[in-house]
Amino acid sequence: RACDIRWSSYILPDLPRLERLYPHFCIVQVNNVFNMPQKIGETRWVAYPHPQIIFQYYDGRTGELAYAEAISPRP
């Protein structure tokens, strides 16, 4: 399914090397199934009709959330 993904790791060349030290990390959460058992205590995984992906970018020094964006396919 087609979707637009927007983020950038591009750094302009006019920044000195020591000014480029902004460590970040990304956690990707994929929501594409959910449990819908026919009986209590059973497990049955069912695909979402419209799956979703969540990108969460965190500051690598503080662990604070810096940016998050969710994407899903076009209908």
Of 50, 55, 51, residue with least CA distance to 66: 55
**pLDDT of amino acid 13:** 83
Q: What is the pTM of this model?
A: 0.64
11-69 pLDDT per residue, tens: 778 888 887 787 888 999 999 998 999 999 999 999 988 889 999 999 989 999 999 99
**pLDDT of amino acid 7:** 63
Can you give the residue ranges of every domain in the chain? 21-71
Please report the sign of the dihedral spanned by the C-alpha atoms of residue 8, residue 12, residue 17, residue 18. Answer: negative
